[in-house]
Amino acid sequence: MRVLGIETSCDETGVALYDSDRGLLADALYSQVAMHAEYGGVVPELASRDHIRKLLPLIREVLQEAGVTEKEVDAIAYTAGPGLIGALMVGASLARGLGYAWGVPVLGVHHMEGHLLAPMLEETPPAFPFVALLVSGGHTQLVEVTGLGAYRLLGESLDDAAGEAFDKAAKMLGLDYPGGPLIAKLAERGTAGRFRFPRPMTDRPGLDFSFSGLKTFTLNTADGLRDAQGELAEQDRADIALAFQEAVVDTLAIKCRRALQQTGFKQLVIAGGVSANQMLRERLEAAVAREGAKLFYARPRFCTDNGAMIAYAGCQRLLAGEQDDLRIRARPRWPLNELQPVAAG
């Protein structure tokens, strides 16, 4: 089965074609990051309009790259939520329209399920059951995954998501949006051990997270070092970036180990934008090894938003016999644990 995947939940227009026999045939991505950078964050209305401009050209590009005509597409999967309502509507209505014109089934997919399954696109994919750490701009969740659609929430952030914390800390250091990759880069020049930031909620049992205190700690540390003009020295910025990143990474690693111990599972999957973070991967590699477990993640391009993960997730559900009615689905809020286990097809 050949499935066209469409992702438009936030600020990336992602399109891909996945073949259940041959794997990923093509994928294309247009990032709106440069357009939003000027405003220090995503402007929803601009995002929607840009998805309208980019989506059809990207679909044509993907079909051409795959050497597939529209008649050879068997189904369409689109991101139905969670995300920005206007941005979601663009992908959902175009997917519906194309499905109607081509006479193929169309399925709305949960964006975080897409992230969660993205490591399945890699050469050595994980197998059910596993623990998943979802770390993106909007979510920080530990999930017990026992099958397709069988997701039990083990813990989540009570305030800011990990990616959001990266973005806010970046802003304090005068970096652009999205700040995650920029903090990581700046941290490479940081002095190890100069600052030690707190590891929130690690001194008590449980698998929930909280990153807002860390944000305040970062702000106070930065403000304590600013000169009369309010400027930070280059080395101070790098040292703060490193201390902040280490605190987030350590906190995530401690909770991941705990989740592995609690479930007894031997596989940890990390997904979402923050899973592209190199220090997180290295620390988690060491942490899971101590549990006799294995770590799985997607290539960096498939950690952040992309069409391939939506095509893949949609394909798995369609193969299991799932169908949508003709409604255009767009849910800005959609808890992952509302999904139901899908019987193997």
Near Zn ion by CB under 5 A: residue from 8, 32, 48, 136: 136
Q: How far apart are CA 337 and CA 155, in angstroms?
A: 12
Q: How far is the CB of 305 from ligand KG4 (least distance, A)?
A: 4
Q: How far apart are CA 311 and CA 313, in angstroms?
A: 6
| Residue 61 identity (one-letter amino acid) | E
Near ligand KG4 by CB under 6 A: residue from 99, 178, 190, 200: 178
Q: How far is the CB of 37 from ligand KG4 (least distance, A)?
A: 12
Near Zn ion by CB under 5 A: residue from 305, 309, 314, 324: 305
* SS3 per residue for 165-204: HHHHHHHHCCCCCCHHHHHHHHHCCCCCCCCCCCCCCCCC
| Contact between 304 and 12 (Cβ < 8 Å) | yes
In this complex, which beta carbon is closest to ligand KG4, that of residue 178 or of residue 314?
178
Q: How far is the CB of 166 from ligand KG4 (least distance, A)?
A: 4
The answer to the question of residue 11 lying near Zn ion (CB under 5 A) is no
| Contact between 14 and 305 (Cβ < 8 Å) | yes
The answer to the question of residue 306 lying near Zn ion (CB under 5 A) is no
In this complex, which beta carbon is closest to ligand KG4, that of residue 113 or of residue 164?
164
Applying the rule CB under 6 A, the residues between 115 and 174 that interact with ligand KG4 are: 136-138, 163-164, 166-167
| Contact between 269 and 132 (Cβ < 8 Å) | yes
C-alpha distance from residue 209 to each of 4, 61, 132, 330 (Å): 35, 41, 15, 28
In this complex, which beta carbon is closest to Zn ion, that of residue 136 or of residue 218?
136
Name the nearest CA neighbour of 141 among 108, 115, 167.
115
Near ligand KG4 by CB under 6 A: residue from 13, 140, 277, 316: 277
Choose the stretch contacting ligand KG4; rule: CB under 6 A; options: 95-103, 120-128, 271-279, 307-315: 271-279
CA gyration radius, the chain: 20
Q: How far is the CB of 280 from ligand KG4 (least distance, A)?
A: 7
The answer to the question of residue 252 lying near ligand KG4 (CB under 6 A) is no
Q: Which two tokens stand for residue 181?
A: 């990759």
Choose the stretch contacting Zn ion; rule: CB under 5 A; options: 88-96, 136-144, 149-157, 227-235: 136-144
The answer to the question of residue 304 lying near ligand KG4 (CB under 6 A) is yes
Applying the rule CB under 6 A, the residues between 198 and 237 that interact with ligand KG4 are: none
Residues whose CB is less than 8 angstroms from the CB of residue 106 and which lie 6 or more positions away in sequence, other chains included = 75, 76, 77, 78, 95, 96, 98, 99, 324
**Which residues in this chain contact Zn ion in the complex, by CB under 5 A?**
136, 305
**Which residues in this chain contact ligand KG4 in the complex, by CB under 6 A?**
10, 136-138, 163-164, 166-167, 178-181, 184, 272-274, 276-277, 304-305
